Chain A
Amino acid sequence: MRNLFAIVFAVCMAHAKATANDSEIVLNIRCVYGEHQIDLSRGPFQANDELQTQIDVLRFYLSDIQLLQNDSIVYREPNSFHLVDASLTGSMRILVDKFNMNGGKSGKAPFNKIRFSVGIDSATNVGGAMAGDLDPTRGMYWTWQSGYINVKLEGKSKKSSAAAHDFQLHLGGYAEPNNSLQIVMIRTKEVNNVTIELDVKKFIDAVNMGENHHVMSPSLFAVLLSKFFADAFSVKSQ
Chain B
Amino acid sequence: MNRLRKIATIFALSLLAMFTVAFHNDRLLFIVPDGWPAPVYDFSKNELTQEKVELGRKIFYDPILSGNNTVSCENCHSPYTAFTHVDHALSHGIEDRIGTRNSPALMNLAWQSSFMRDGAINHLDMQALAPISSHTEMDSDISDVVKKLSAHDEYPKLFAAVYGRGEITGEKILKSLSAFMLTLISGSSRYDSVGRGLTSYTTQENNGYQIFKRSCSTCHVEPLFTNDQFMNNGLPADSALADLGRYNVTKNPADFLKFKVPTLRNIEFSFPYMHDGRFRNLSQVLNHYTTGIVQSISLAEQLQYPIRLTSNEKVDLTAFLLTLTDKSFLFNPRFVAPRRPTR
Contacts and interface: CB of A to CB of B under 8 A. Distances in A.
A81 to B, nearest CB: 13
A130 interface: yes
Interface in A108-149: 125-131, 134-137, 139, 141, 143-147
A219 interface: yes
Nearest to B134: A144
B87 interface: no
A144 B120 contact: yes
Binding site of B, secondary structure by majority: helix, strand, loop or mixed? helix
Contacts of B158: none
Contact of B45 (A127, A136, A144): A127
Contact of B175 (A126, A129, A145): A129
A143 B143 contact: no
Nearest to A139: B143
Which of B42, B122, B133, B143 has the most chain A CB atoms inside 10 A of its CB? B122
Contacts, number: 66
Given A127-B45, A128-B126, A136 B170 contact: yes
B125 A147 contact: no
Binding site of A, secondary structure by majority: helix, strand, loop or mixed? loop
Interface in A20-44: none
Contacts of B50: none
A128 B42 contact: yes
Nearest to A142: B129
A146 B123 contact: yes
B122 A137 contact: no
B26 interface: no
Contacts of B170: 129, 135-137
Contacts of B121: 145-146
B28 to A, nearest CB: 23
Given A128-B46, A146-B126, 12 more contacts: A126-B122, A127-B42, A128-B123, A129-B123, A130-B171, A131-B171, A136-B126, A136-B129, A139-B143, A145-B120, A145-B249, A146-B122
16 contacts: A126-B123, A127-B123, A128-B45, A128-B174, A128-B175, A129-B123, A129-B126, A129-B174, A129-B175, A131-B171, A136-B174, A143-B132, A143-B133, A143-B134, A145-B249, A146-B121
